[in-house]
Structure 1
Protein backbone atom coordinates (compact mmCIF):
# COMPACT_ATOMS: atom_id res chain seq x y z
CA UNK A 1 0.00 0.00 0.00
CA UNK A 2 1.74 2.90 -1.32
CA UNK A 3 0.79 6.47 -1.13
CA UNK A 4 1.80 9.28 -3.45
CA UNK A 5 2.87 12.15 -1.36
CA UNK A 6 4.17 14.23 -4.17
CA UNK A 7 7.59 14.67 -5.60
CA UNK A 8 10.60 14.52 -3.54
CA UNK A 9 11.71 17.95 -4.66
CA UNK A 10 10.16 19.64 -1.73
CA UNK A 11 8.65 22.49 -3.72
CA UNK A 12 4.96 23.18 -3.26
CA UNK A 13 4.11 23.17 -6.95
CA UNK A 14 2.07 20.27 -8.31
CA UNK A 15 3.50 18.02 -10.96
CA UNK A 16 2.70 18.84 -14.60
CA UNK A 17 0.11 16.43 -16.08
CA UNK A 18 1.37 15.01 -19.38
CA UNK A 19 -1.95 13.39 -20.53
CA UNK A 20 -4.35 15.12 -22.93
CA UNK A 21 -7.92 15.70 -21.84
CA UNK A 22 -10.09 13.72 -24.33
CA UNK A 23 -13.50 14.67 -22.97
CA UNK A 24 -13.95 17.80 -25.17
CA UNK A 25 -12.71 15.85 -28.18
CA UNK A 26 -15.31 13.11 -27.61
CA UNK A 27 -18.03 15.75 -27.17
CA UNK A 28 -17.15 17.36 -30.51
CA UNK A 29 -17.10 13.96 -32.24
CA UNK A 30 -20.55 13.06 -30.86
CA UNK A 31 -21.98 16.41 -32.06
CA UNK A 32 -20.54 15.78 -35.54
CA UNK A 33 -21.98 12.26 -35.58
CA UNK A 34 -25.45 13.52 -34.63
CA UNK A 35 -25.29 16.19 -37.34
CA UNK A 36 -24.30 13.56 -39.91
CA UNK A 37 -27.18 11.28 -38.94
CA UNK A 38 -29.67 14.15 -39.16
CA UNK A 39 -28.52 15.32 -42.59
CA UNK A 40 -28.62 11.87 -44.27
CA UNK A 41 -31.92 11.55 -46.17
CA UNK A 42 -34.32 8.89 -44.99
CA UNK A 43 -34.07 5.73 -47.09
CA UNK A 44 -37.37 4.65 -48.59
CA UNK A 45 -37.83 0.98 -49.32
CA UNK A 46 -39.84 1.56 -52.50
CA UNK A 47 -39.12 1.18 -56.17
CA UNK A 48 -40.36 3.93 -58.44
CA UNK A 49 -41.86 2.49 -61.64
CA UNK A 50 -43.39 4.22 -64.61
CA UNK A 51 -46.42 2.02 -65.17
CA UNK A 52 -48.39 2.23 -68.41
CA UNK A 53 -51.77 3.86 -68.27
CA UNK A 54 -54.47 1.25 -68.54
CA UNK A 55 -57.09 1.53 -71.20
CA UNK A 56 -60.57 0.18 -70.76
CA UNK A 57 -60.89 -3.35 -72.01
CA UNK A 58 -62.21 -3.56 -75.52
CA UNK A 59 -64.90 -5.96 -76.49
CA UNK A 60 -63.51 -9.32 -77.34
CA UNK A 61 -64.26 -9.97 -80.96
CA UNK A 62 -64.51 -13.60 -81.94
CA UNK A 63 -62.29 -14.31 -84.93
CA UNK A 64 -63.80 -15.24 -88.26
CA UNK A 65 -63.17 -18.92 -88.89
CA UNK A 66 -63.00 -20.26 -92.42
CA UNK A 67 -63.17 -24.05 -92.67
CA UNK A 68 -61.35 -25.54 -95.63
CA UNK A 69 -61.80 -29.27 -96.12
CA UNK A 70 -60.01 -31.52 -98.59
CA UNK A 71 -61.96 -34.75 -99.13
CA UNK A 72 -60.75 -38.18 -100.27
CA UNK A 73 -61.00 -37.17 -103.96
CA UNK A 74 -58.91 -34.02 -103.27
CA UNK A 75 -61.92 -31.76 -103.80
CA UNK A 76 -61.56 -28.54 -101.79
CA UNK A 77 -64.58 -27.35 -99.79
CA UNK A 78 -64.85 -23.74 -98.55
CA UNK A 79 -67.09 -23.63 -95.44
CA UNK A 80 -68.85 -26.78 -96.63
CA UNK A 81 -69.33 -25.71 -100.27
CA UNK A 82 -67.18 -27.38 -102.94
CA UNK A 83 -65.00 -25.12 -105.08
CA UNK A 84 -65.02 -25.68 -108.83
CA UNK A 85 -61.37 -24.87 -109.48
CA UNK A 86 -58.07 -23.76 -107.99
CA UNK A 87 -58.71 -20.29 -109.39
CA UNK A 88 -61.84 -20.03 -107.26
CA UNK A 89 -59.79 -21.06 -104.21
CA UNK A 90 -57.25 -18.38 -105.09
CA UNK A 91 -60.02 -15.75 -105.34
CA UNK A 92 -61.51 -16.75 -101.97
CA UNK A 93 -58.09 -16.66 -100.30
CA UNK A 94 -57.44 -13.18 -101.73
CA UNK A 95 -60.75 -11.96 -100.27
CA UNK A 96 -59.85 -13.51 -96.91
CA UNK A 97 -56.40 -11.86 -96.90
CA UNK A 98 -58.03 -8.43 -97.27
CA UNK A 99 -60.34 -8.91 -94.27
CA UNK A 100 -59.53 -7.06 -91.05
CA UNK A 101 -58.91 -8.69 -88.62
CA UNK A 102 -57.42 -11.55 -90.51
CA UNK A 103 -59.57 -14.70 -90.40
CA UNK A 104 -58.43 -18.06 -89.11
CA UNK A 105 -58.14 -20.86 -91.64
CA UNK A 106 -58.95 -24.30 -90.25
CA UNK A 107 -57.73 -26.86 -92.75
CA UNK A 108 -59.05 -30.40 -92.44
CA UNK A 109 -57.93 -33.10 -94.82
CA UNK A 110 -59.08 -36.64 -95.35
CA UNK A 111 -56.49 -39.36 -94.82
CA UNK A 112 -56.88 -40.45 -98.45
CA UNK A 113 -56.54 -36.95 -99.93
CA UNK A 114 -53.47 -36.20 -102.00
CA UNK A 115 -50.68 -34.38 -100.21
CA UNK A 116 -50.30 -31.95 -103.12
CA UNK A 117 -53.87 -30.68 -102.74
CA UNK A 118 -53.42 -29.85 -99.05
CA UNK A 119 -49.94 -28.42 -99.58
CA UNK A 120 -51.20 -26.14 -102.37
CA UNK A 121 -53.94 -24.75 -100.10
CA UNK A 122 -51.37 -23.95 -97.39
CA UNK A 123 -48.85 -22.54 -99.89
CA UNK A 124 -51.46 -20.28 -101.51
CA UNK A 125 -52.61 -19.01 -98.12
CA UNK A 126 -49.05 -18.27 -97.05
CA UNK A 127 -48.20 -16.56 -100.35
CA UNK A 128 -51.20 -14.25 -99.95
CA UNK A 129 -50.15 -13.25 -96.42
CA UNK A 130 -52.59 -15.32 -94.36
CA UNK A 131 -50.76 -16.25 -91.18
CA UNK A 132 -53.46 -17.78 -89.00
CA UNK A 133 -53.47 -21.35 -90.31
CA UNK A 134 -54.47 -24.40 -88.35
CA UNK A 135 -54.52 -28.09 -89.21
CA UNK A 136 -57.67 -29.67 -87.75
CA UNK A 137 -58.37 -33.37 -87.38
CA UNK A 138 -54.79 -34.60 -87.46
CA UNK A 139 -55.58 -37.34 -84.93
CA UNK A 140 -56.68 -39.57 -87.84
CA UNK A 141 -53.06 -39.79 -88.98
CA UNK A 142 -51.70 -41.26 -85.73
CA UNK A 143 -51.91 -44.89 -86.86
Structure 2
Protein backbone atom coordinates (compact mmCIF):
# COMPACT_ATOMS: atom_id res chain seq x y z
CA UNK A 1 0.00 0.00 0.00
CA UNK A 2 2.67 2.39 0.66
CA UNK A 3 4.35 3.96 -2.32
CA UNK A 4 7.75 5.47 -2.35
CA UNK A 5 7.94 9.07 -3.50
CA UNK A 6 11.63 8.97 -4.20
CA UNK A 7 12.97 7.75 -7.53
CA UNK A 8 14.96 4.57 -7.53
CA UNK A 9 18.61 4.84 -7.09
CA UNK A 10 18.51 8.40 -5.86
CA UNK A 11 19.83 7.52 -2.50
CA UNK A 12 17.33 9.82 -0.83
CA UNK A 13 19.09 13.03 -1.89
CA UNK A 14 17.96 15.69 -4.30
CA UNK A 15 19.00 15.28 -7.85
CA UNK A 16 21.26 18.04 -9.20
CA UNK A 17 20.38 19.59 -12.51
CA UNK A 18 22.99 19.85 -15.21
CA UNK A 19 23.75 23.42 -16.39
CA UNK A 20 22.20 24.18 -19.75
CA UNK A 21 24.89 24.87 -22.34
CA UNK A 22 22.57 25.93 -25.20
CA UNK A 23 21.85 29.60 -25.87
CA UNK A 24 18.22 30.50 -26.39
CA UNK A 25 18.28 32.78 -29.43
CA UNK A 26 14.53 33.41 -29.61
CA UNK A 27 14.62 36.54 -27.40
CA UNK A 28 17.60 37.83 -29.37
CA UNK A 29 15.75 37.40 -32.66
CA UNK A 30 12.67 39.10 -31.20
CA UNK A 31 14.69 42.12 -30.08
CA UNK A 32 16.47 42.36 -33.43
CA UNK A 33 13.21 42.26 -35.37
CA UNK A 34 11.75 45.02 -33.18
CA UNK A 35 14.86 47.15 -33.75
CA UNK A 36 14.67 46.50 -37.49
CA UNK A 37 11.07 47.70 -37.59
CA UNK A 38 11.95 50.80 -35.56
CA UNK A 39 14.83 51.70 -37.88
CA UNK A 40 12.72 51.08 -40.98
CA UNK A 41 10.05 53.46 -39.68
CA UNK A 42 12.41 56.20 -38.50
CA UNK A 43 14.94 56.18 -41.38
CA UNK A 44 12.74 58.17 -43.81
CA UNK A 45 12.10 60.72 -41.07
CA UNK A 46 15.83 61.39 -40.63
CA UNK A 47 16.22 62.80 -44.14
CA UNK A 48 15.43 66.41 -43.40
CA UNK A 49 16.10 69.60 -45.20
CA UNK A 50 14.49 72.41 -47.06
CA UNK A 51 12.70 71.22 -50.18
CA UNK A 52 14.11 72.82 -53.34
CA UNK A 53 14.33 71.75 -56.97
CA UNK A 54 18.03 71.87 -57.77
CA UNK A 55 19.17 72.84 -61.25
CA UNK A 56 20.90 70.22 -63.37
CA UNK A 57 24.52 70.67 -64.40
CA UNK A 58 27.23 68.44 -65.82
CA UNK A 59 30.01 69.17 -63.35
CA UNK A 60 32.32 66.93 -61.35
CA UNK A 61 31.14 66.16 -57.86
CA UNK A 62 33.03 67.48 -54.85
CA UNK A 63 34.16 65.46 -51.88
CA UNK A 64 31.46 65.39 -49.24
CA UNK A 65 32.27 67.16 -45.99
CA UNK A 66 29.93 66.12 -43.18
CA UNK A 67 30.75 69.22 -41.14
CA UNK A 68 29.83 71.62 -43.95
CA UNK A 69 26.98 74.08 -43.62
CA UNK A 70 24.22 74.32 -46.18
CA UNK A 71 22.59 77.58 -47.25
CA UNK A 72 19.37 77.00 -49.18
CA UNK A 73 17.62 79.57 -51.37
CA UNK A 74 13.99 78.57 -51.96
CA UNK A 75 11.96 79.48 -55.02
CA UNK A 76 10.29 82.36 -53.15
CA UNK A 77 13.73 83.77 -52.21
CA UNK A 78 13.72 82.66 -48.55
CA UNK A 79 17.17 81.83 -47.14
CA UNK A 80 17.77 78.89 -44.83
CA UNK A 81 20.94 78.05 -42.92
CA UNK A 82 20.73 74.27 -42.54
CA UNK A 83 16.99 74.13 -41.67
CA UNK A 84 16.59 77.52 -39.99
CA UNK A 85 15.32 80.52 -41.92
CA UNK A 86 17.64 83.55 -41.69
CA UNK A 87 17.56 87.01 -43.24
CA UNK A 88 20.29 87.83 -45.76
CA UNK A 89 21.74 90.58 -43.54
CA UNK A 90 22.49 88.17 -40.67
CA UNK A 91 23.63 85.18 -42.77
CA UNK A 92 27.37 85.73 -42.29
CA UNK A 93 26.94 86.41 -38.56
CA UNK A 94 24.98 83.18 -38.11
CA UNK A 95 27.62 81.21 -40.01
CA UNK A 96 30.29 82.84 -37.81
CA UNK A 97 28.40 81.76 -34.70
CA UNK A 98 28.17 78.16 -35.90
CA UNK A 99 31.73 77.78 -37.22
CA UNK A 100 33.44 79.88 -34.59
CA UNK A 101 34.46 82.42 -37.26
CA UNK A 102 36.51 79.78 -39.07
CA UNK A 103 37.09 81.09 -42.62
CA UNK A 104 38.17 77.58 -43.73
CA UNK A 105 34.70 76.13 -43.11
CA UNK A 106 33.00 74.77 -46.21
CA UNK A 107 29.58 76.21 -47.06
CA UNK A 108 27.32 74.65 -49.69
CA UNK A 109 24.71 76.82 -51.42
CA UNK A 110 21.59 75.10 -52.75
CA UNK A 111 19.50 77.35 -54.99
CA UNK A 112 16.11 76.38 -56.39
CA UNK A 113 16.05 76.20 -60.20
CA UNK A 114 13.30 78.83 -60.32
CA UNK A 115 14.94 81.40 -58.05
CA UNK A 116 16.51 84.46 -59.71
CA UNK A 117 20.27 84.15 -60.14
CA UNK A 118 20.80 87.41 -58.29
CA UNK A 119 19.28 86.02 -55.08
CA UNK A 120 21.71 83.09 -55.05
CA UNK A 121 24.62 85.44 -55.78
CA UNK A 122 23.49 87.76 -52.99
CA UNK A 123 23.73 84.84 -50.55
CA UNK A 124 27.15 83.90 -51.89
CA UNK A 125 28.25 87.53 -51.71
CA UNK A 126 27.17 87.79 -48.07
CA UNK A 127 29.23 84.69 -47.28
CA UNK A 128 32.20 86.07 -49.23
CA UNK A 129 31.95 89.40 -47.39
CA UNK A 130 31.91 87.41 -44.13
CA UNK A 131 35.29 85.91 -45.04
CA UNK A 132 34.16 82.51 -46.29
CA UNK A 133 36.02 81.53 -49.45
CA UNK A 134 35.15 77.82 -49.54
CA UNK A 135 31.64 78.24 -50.92
CA UNK A 136 30.32 75.72 -53.44
CA UNK A 137 27.09 75.46 -55.42
CA UNK A 138 25.07 72.24 -55.27
CA UNK A 139 23.36 70.98 -58.42
CA UNK A 140 21.84 67.72 -59.58
CA UNK A 141 23.54 65.67 -62.27
CA UNK A 142 21.74 65.78 -65.61
CA UNK A 143 19.39 62.91 -66.35
CA UNK A 144 20.54 60.59 -69.13
CA UNK A 145 17.44 61.24 -71.28
CA UNK A 146 17.65 65.01 -70.80
CA UNK A 147 21.40 65.03 -71.38
CA UNK A 148 21.06 63.14 -74.68
CA UNK A 149 18.30 65.49 -75.86
CA UNK A 150 20.34 68.55 -74.89
CA UNK A 151 23.39 67.27 -76.78
CA UNK A 152 21.47 67.02 -80.07
TM bucket (normalised to shorter chain) is 0.3 to 0.5
Higher relative contact order (CA 8 A, sep 6+): 2
State the TM-score, normalized to the length of structure 2: 0.44
State the TM-score, normalized to the length of structure 1: 0.47
Structure 1 or 2, whichever has the larger Rg, is 1
